[in-house]
Structure 1
């Protein structure tokens, strides 16, 4: 029997592109993915819950996690920290579960250094104008923050060549279906299947 190690899938992209919306819809549909919740020092937005959307931490608490090497990755983004708890990800992958991360671009690049075998998916907005509209529609950002996020988004889109796939988020259902297709196809890659079959071939039959 083939017992594959889990695959790490990383969904990333500029702020406001709809990463959270796509991730939530993926998990609303039947799948065997394990979601690793990020830790952050940013304030809790309306409707968000601690331990479900994020682990909300003070900056002192977050600094302790960094010092104790308990984060798989972390990044400072628009004066707030974001990070992924290390232990959960490693444990789930070892047990054969796929792990799905939804994180900012800086964090994704750190994960790539630690898990080069991961699958990295970049979520794109239809246009910068549409990205601006999505950020403004939140009603949680000042004009200065909107300008900062758009400036950062341009830099991040230029980093797309660090990713394996690019998915356009012009329609949430279509974006979700494309991500699900990526997940399915990765499990069928010859090198993944071959690696497990080589283990089987090494076992002598009674």
Structure 2
């Protein structure tokens, strides 16, 4: 269901949730649903891991280069995590918006606020996913079988910190059923694509209507 770049501007779709609320699964489903939605490729100063491809998994850059981009406003959002810098380069996102393609951001509330407050903020759509209950959230984390009890405890605390910022998002969905949540996400995205600011051809169309009206009267 690709849209012509001439008919709309792309969206910056921000999807946030605590760990275990289904964000990654839903992000993959959205990309499978519409080829005009792509993941934002982050820049990082950490070293590539085995199998990671520069420009596909991350843009691997030096600390000096990263700091220079931040200083010149070339990062939509950035953070310092476990000794390394991470951020979202602005240029490819701007290019996608102009071409009518949507960019999906899998980020936390702090990154979401930075993007919303940026000069591209008017094109953002922010969505927060809540779990049906804290008990269910813990069950999902435990069912992965990847973490010990202490790690799960830390993840739960971090999850609560993330949940406490749900009120700053445009839309909030309770992810109790993946299929229903996906359908709601599609509906929200399709509606937001029709916002006036996303339709650059509307002004010219209105002018043509005015000209036609003047000619007929």
Short-chain TM bin: 0.7 to 0.9
Inter-partner Cα distance in structure 1 for 2:45 and 2:150: 20
CA distance in 1, matches of 2:194, 2:35: 16
How far apart in 2 are the matches of 1:4 and 1:154? 37
* TM-score, structure 1 as length reference: 0.78
Query: Is the deviation greater in 193-202 or in 27-36?
Result: 193-202
Match of 1:143 in 2: 149
- Contact 2:15–2:106 (8 Å) recurs in 1: yes
Q: Structure 2: which 5+ residue stretches go unaligned?
A: 213-217
State the partner residue of 1:187.
193
Match in the other structure for 1:161: 167
Please list the CA deviations of residues 29-56 of structure 1 after superposition, one character each: whole Å capped at 9, or x if unmatched.
Answer: 24422321334678999xx965698428
In structure 2, distance between residues paired with 1:42 and 1:33: 26
CA distance change for structure 1 residues 160 and 150 in 2, over 3 Å: closer, same or farther? same
SS in 2 for 1:68: helix
Q: Give structure 1 stretches of 5+ with no counterpart.
A: none
Matching residue of 1:71: 75
* Shift in Å, 1:121: 0.4
In structure 1, which of residues 178, 183, 199 is the aligned counterpart of residue 204 of structure 2? 199
Partner of 1:8: 12
* TM-align CA RMSD: 3.4
Distance 1:194 1:79, change over 3 A: closer
Cα deviation, 1:122-147, whole Å, max 9, x if unaligned, reads: 01111112222222333333433322
Aligned to 1:127: 133
Output the TM-score relative to the length of structure 2: 0.74
CA distance in structure 2 between the aligned counterparts of 1:79 and 1:39, rounded to whole angstroms: 14
Tell me the residue number matched to 1:55.
Answer: 58
The counterpart of 2:108, out of the listed 97, 104, 107, is: 104
Deviates more, 1:27-36 or 1:109-118: 27-36
Equivalent residues of 2:13, 2:102 under 8 A apart: yes
CA distance, structure 1, for counterparts of residue 108 and residue 42 of structure 2 = 10
Between Structure 1 and Structure 2, how many residues are aligned? 202
Please name the residue that 1:92 is paired with.
96
